[in-house]
């Protein structure tokens, strides 16, 4: 019917407005690549949530933040489909902006994508008086300060030791320290910054019954962090010993840090899985004795890859054995892109591509991850904690990273060799890490402990972090900036290593208090193998992994 209708229209009478293009525009997802901000301590870009977080130093006027440079982009493969066009940014990201509230910015390719720029600004605030008990309570929202002292302190004639309630170096106060004496009715103090910000703070001193008290014990494997409340200005510290011993050890003053009357000791050189006794003292007073037990120095199951068996009915291998005496070696703990076929889930081995194989080292087993090329597409050899879960579309795959874990190691130590090469496969790469044919390829070894929730990260209870290399899921690629990470270490190199070499990867902890629920270790022969980019003849050998505490 439509054909007969248009056949009655003369070409010169044809109205182009009647033509409708039903072909969909391609989906090209833009991202912020970088943001250069005056006075920024850090800029974190999260492509998955489309959030940019700018951490400002305390001397910046958050109401007038200057963004000097802004770089946006799309992936290498998508850029070919977008050639000759520019990503539209609305409003313009550069220039001065009020970031006291989140700022919405829309990046548009063929479709609009709304991003949020958030600013955080942590102002270091403190207030302390002589004879103070414990730490100061500072309510930055309501501008209130509460300090606790014992009944021996005359609150009508006090000595203020420190007072900083606004940004450093740009704040003027209505009172000097020597003018702050009588707190019997509380005290108000006004401050003004050079940007014209004015605040009035209320300061209260409360008299409480005093006793030295241990507030928090945070034991690790060979150390512990313990916090107590005492009296500021007194001789504050700790004594400790193994449970059952007679002699007390005094913690060195270099290991004690104070915040008013609150103080924290770092106890080092402890033994794993050992019970200790500790007491705090402040002047002549002592707390009750408390006990704690250090964490075990748990090692990785099958850390030298000695447990290796053939997949049932197949000619490739898995790194577990249901008949092994160690229960943790009876099921999948270490996995690879090969998959485990009938003993687990299918991987690349079902397509005839075997990427990870056992090898020998000093007469014992090691593991070798090797890359391959199939129909011009790179397949990256790897071994990791978790499980390969599915092949997607014949060329991409999905894995679940992680295994249950509860200790906090200081480093991952292992032996490795690496045969690198020049990149001969380029499918894609992140916008901030351009890879070209002929570049030297890199390998990667990552270790991290964290408290990832599988409901949020898409994996399973045992392996909580889902990662897919499928094009439409690439924003979920795992990165060291994951907020679930408590501590991590990352090793990347392009240098060939022909002899077995010991490598130590230290973990950098972002929190000393959070407890891990899982550990993730990823060893990949191609650093950008998740983008199917790298050298197709590279090899990475691994052996004797152990955790250092």
What is the pLDDT tens value at each position of the chain, 549 positions in all?
343 333 344 445 545 555 555 556 667 788 888 899 999 999 988 887 899 999 999 999 999 999 999 988 876 555 555 555 678 888 888 999 999 999 999 999 888 999 999 999 999 999 999 999 999 999 999 999 999 998 889 999 999 999 999 999 999 999 999 999 999 999 999 999 999 999 999 999 999 988 899 999 999 999 999 999 999 989 999 999 999 999 999 999 999 999 989 999 999 999 999 999 999 999 999 999 999 999 999 999 999 999 999 999 999 999 999 999 999 999 999 999 999 999 998 888 888 889 999 997 666 899 999 999 888 889 899 999 999 998 887 777 889 999 999 999 999 999 999 999 999 999 888 877 889 999 999 999 999 999 999 998 889 999 999 998 877 666 556 777 788 999 999 999 999 999 999 999 999 999 999 999 999 999 999 999 988 999 999 999 999 999 999
Ramachandran quadrant class, 362 (left: phi over 0; alpha: psi -120 to 50; beta: rest): left
Of 336, 400, 342, 340, give the one whose Cα is nearest residue 371. Answer: 336
- Cβ atoms < 10 Å from Cβ of 94: 15
Q: What does the alpha-carbon distance between residue 515 and residue 195 come to, in Å, rounded to a whole number?
A: 41
Give Cβ neighbours of residue 537 (< 8 Å, ≥ 6 apart): 371, 419, 421, 424
CB 298 within 8 A of CB 407: yes
Q: What does the alpha-carbon distance between residue 229 and residue 281 come to, in Å, rounded to a whole number?
A: 9
Q: What does the alpha-carbon distance between residue 449 and residue 455 come to, in Å, rounded to a whole number?
A: 18
Task: Count Cβ atoms within 10 A of the Cβ of residue 218 and give its class: 0-12 exposed, 13-18 middle, 19 or more buried.
Answer: middle
Taking CA 481 as the corner, what is the angle to CA 409 and CA 442, rounded to the nearest 5 degrees? 85
Q: What does the alpha-carbon distance between residue 281 and residue 235 come to, in Å, rounded to a whole number?
A: 8
Q: What does the alpha-carbon distance between residue 34 and residue 22 come to, in Å, rounded to a whole number?
A: 35
Task: State both tokens at 406.
Answer: 């509860």
Beta strands 88-90 and 396-401, pairing class: unpaired
Taking CA 249 as the corner, what is the angle to CA 246 and CA 253, rounded to the nearest 5 degrees? 165
- Domains of the chain (ranges; CATH) run 31-121 (2.60.40.2340), 126-207 (2.60.40.2340), 224-293 (2.60.40), 309-544 (2.60.120.890)
> Would you mind telling me the total number of residues written for the chain in this entry?
549
* Strand, helix or coil for residue 144: strand
Give Cβ neighbours of residue 26 (< 8 Å, ≥ 6 apart): 78, 81, 110
CB 272 within 8 A of CB 549: yes
């Amino acid at each position: 019917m439509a054909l007969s209708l248009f056949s009655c229209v003369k070409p010169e009478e044809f109205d182009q407005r009647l033509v409708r293009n039903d072909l969909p525009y391609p989906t090209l997802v833009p991202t912020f690549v970088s943001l250069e901000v005056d006075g920024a301590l850090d800029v974190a870009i999260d492509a998955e949530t489309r959030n940019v977080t700018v951490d400002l130093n305390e001397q910046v006027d958050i109401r007038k933040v200057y963004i000097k440079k802004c770089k946006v982009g799309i992936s290498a493969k998508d850029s070919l489909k977008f050639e000759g066009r520019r990503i539209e940014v609305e409003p313009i990201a550069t220039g001065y902006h009020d970031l006291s509230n989140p700022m919405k910015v829309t990046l548009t390719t063929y479709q609009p994508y709304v991003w949020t720029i958030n600013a955080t600004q942590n102002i270091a605030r403190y207030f302390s008086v002589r004879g103070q008990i414990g730490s100061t309570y500072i309510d930055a929202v309501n501008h209130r300060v509460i300090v606790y002292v014992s009944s021996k302190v005359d609150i009508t004639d006090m000595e203020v030791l420190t007072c900083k309630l606004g940004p450093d170096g740009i704040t003027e106060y209505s009172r000097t320290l020597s003018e702050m004496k009588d707190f019997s009715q509380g005290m108000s103090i006004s401050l003004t910054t050079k940007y014209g910000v004015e605040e009035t703070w209320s300061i209260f001193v409360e008299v409480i019954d005093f006793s030295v008290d241990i507030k928090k014990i945070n034991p690790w494997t060979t150390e512990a962090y313990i916090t107590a409340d005492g009296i500021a200005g007194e001789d504050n510290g700790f004594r400790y010993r193994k449970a059952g011993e007679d002699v007390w050890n005094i913690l060195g003053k270099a290991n004690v840090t104070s915040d008013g009357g609150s103080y924290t000791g770092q106890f080092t050189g402890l033994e794993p899985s050992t019970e200790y006794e500790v007491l705090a003292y402040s002047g002549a007073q002592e707390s009750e004795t408390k006990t704690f037990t250090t964490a075990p120095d748990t090692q990785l199951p099958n850390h030298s890859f000695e447990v290796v068996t053939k997949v049932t009915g197949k000619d490739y291998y898995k790194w577990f054995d249901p008949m092994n005496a160690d229960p943790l070696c009876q099921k999948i703990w270490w996995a690879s892109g090969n998959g485990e076929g009938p003993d687990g889930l299918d991987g690349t081995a079902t397509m005839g591509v075997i990427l990870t194989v056992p090898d020998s080292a000093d007469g014992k087993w090691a593991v070798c991850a090797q890359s391959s090329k199939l129909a011009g597409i790179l397949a990256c050899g790897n071994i990791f904690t978790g499980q390969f879960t599915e092949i997607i579309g014949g060329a991409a795959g999905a894995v679940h990273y992680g295994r249950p874990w509860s200790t906090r190691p200081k480093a991952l130590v292992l032996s490795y060799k690496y045969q690198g090469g020049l990149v001969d496969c380029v499918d894609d790469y992140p916008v901030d890490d351009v890879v070209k044919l002929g570049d030297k390829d890199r390998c990667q070894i990552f270790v991290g402990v964290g408290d990832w929730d599988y409901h949020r990260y898409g994996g399973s209870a045992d392996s909580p972090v889902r990662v897919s290399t499928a094009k439409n899921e690439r924003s979920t690629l795992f990165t060291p900036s994951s907020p679930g990470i408590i501590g991590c270490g990352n090793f990347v190199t392009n240098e060939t290593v022909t002899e077995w070499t010991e490598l130590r990867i230290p973990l950098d902890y972002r929190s000393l208090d959070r407890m891990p629920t899982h550990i993730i270790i990823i060893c990949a022969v191609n650093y950008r193998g998740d983008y199917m980019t790298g050298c197709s003849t590279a090899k990475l050998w691994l052996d004797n992994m152990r955790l250092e505490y």
